[in-house]
Structure 1
């Protein structure tokens, strides 16, 4: 399947010393970190074979201590390090090197990719329903036969309860200066994000606002879901954060999302279903399924053409009115998929068939 991501370039580094910690004599570096196979990009099932190279005055280093992101992981001039122990993403490896009781420090960066190719899922459209074209969909979830939808844009942001057929039954309106983002339900409380305001809102099931919360770190709010214990938040990058609503929204852990080739950036609306975190990739008709423990991309669903061109109305902005909104009905196993200001809502079923099922 085609990859529809915007990536940063994975640096094929350069396992060398940093400018402030490396020392040179006669223009040559004394000590550096080197992989014995001269690699800097690895897969999660690889083992890194690292060593300290270089010398000073013709003498190699006496000893070394290894650290990853500041945490000690081993000692010696050689280190065999399973990538699995580091996890996915970019990692900074630091060594403190001693020679004749003098200490030197050198660093290197490596990238760990997933060790599996994502499975390609097909989709089948079960039904279509009308959708409010004034709703700039930012979040969507299903509960007891109804949909809860969070909408965005300043002056248009709402949280609404609707029927599957799109009828608005109840609505809460955000202040005009707030750009609404994702929303989810956890323990009979609805949590809704804002985009740039570094705060979110809490409602009861009647959409009555009962409180607010501050973001614990300076990130943007994009998508929001829950695994039944933590809130799971995306910020438009390849990072997913797990927040504890019982402890002042403390970030308890962060994962980096990678497939077997790249980091998957622009993660947007989220839906946690049976141990898989589904995510829209912003501006693309594309959904990925993520392992919430490791960040591996487990599956990919190409939804290009889900909204046919004939459904575009006058003023439809195909560059901004994109797929966004994933809700799961546990009773049927079906998903409801929406888009920003789309005229239609789609009830779909995913399958492992090799090609797209009939629409």
Structure 2
């Protein structure tokens, strides 16, 4: 039984992650020439417990606190705490909101919703809601970066497009299309604007993460994150989703929707 179809009550062809990819005609395309980019793999450095009921949509690791946004209508939440431990702050999203990506920008914690067209600004300490703003289209992933001296948010919508937004007003300021070997890379989902200057994106619904040059939209690396869960764990879980740079290191935390574990990994040559 499809989790998304069961809980959302939708009619039509839904993916297991609750996102109707076929209805929009968008299919994942990773490009034909795998040798045009660096081929990396996720090497596990540590394993942490993760709530197997968390339908993970976004991760952000800032100042010792790991923020996690979860989805599904009636089950969406935002939580904060130390990695691998119960959250110390928690906020629910009431139906019909479907929680999506999150990011921290100064004293603002932004949380997306999927098809509700609403971004929620929250207090990063208490997670209390401050205000809501509207946007067009779907909300998937979100991260915050400084590019060419400008602070900006980067948002994905499941296509090959990344939209830049003002971190204070949430208004769109521009966009880029992501390409590998000249071909669009669609299914861009959870985002991480990493300290190395690149944007890392989960490619839904695969076990691939792509590394993107934010100035051009060019994919510079593909990261293979297959085999992290045991076969029995994988059978009860859904798509890989959730990536957060570990502050002060070159490591990342990655997990997925309904995954029982979270992994601290480095990206090494495949």
Interval containing the TM-score (normalised by the shorter chain)? 0.7 to 0.9
Structure 1, unaligned stretches of length 5 or more? 11-112
The number of equivalent residue pairs is 237
Equivalent position of 1:252 in the other structure: 173
Instruction: Please state which structure has a larger fraction of its residues in helix.
Output: 2
Equivalent position of 1:220 in the other structure: 138
Would you say 1:345 and 2:262 are equivalent positions? yes
Higher relative contact order (CA 8 A, sep 6+): 2
Matches within 5 A, 1:30-45: none
Question: Counterparts of 1:203 and 1:324 in 2: how far apart (Å)?
Answer: 22
Equivalent position of 1:298 in the other structure: 220
Structure with larger Rg: 1
Question: Counterparts of 2:133 and 2:219 in 1: how far apart (Å)?
Answer: 30
The root-mean-square deviation of aligned C-alpha atoms, in Å, is: 2.1
Equivalent position of 2:209 in the other structure: 287
Please report the TM-score for the alignment, with normalisation by the length of structure 1.
0.63
- Note if contact 2:62-2:247 (Cα within 8 Å) is conserved in structure 1: no
Spell out structure 1 runs of 4+ moving beyond 4 A: none
Please report the TM-score for the alignment, with normalisation by the length of structure 2.
0.83
Q: Deviation of residue 145 (structure 1)?
A: 2.2
Instruction: Find the residue that maps to 1:140 and give its secondary structure.
Output: strand
- Note if contact 1:182-1:223 (Cα within 8 Å) is conserved in structure 2: yes
Matches within 5 A, 1:85-234: 117-205=36-124, 206-215=126-135, 218-228=136-146, 229-234=151-156
Structure 2, unaligned stretches of length 5 or more? 1-26
- Note if contact 2:178-2:212 (Cα within 8 Å) is conserved in structure 1: yes
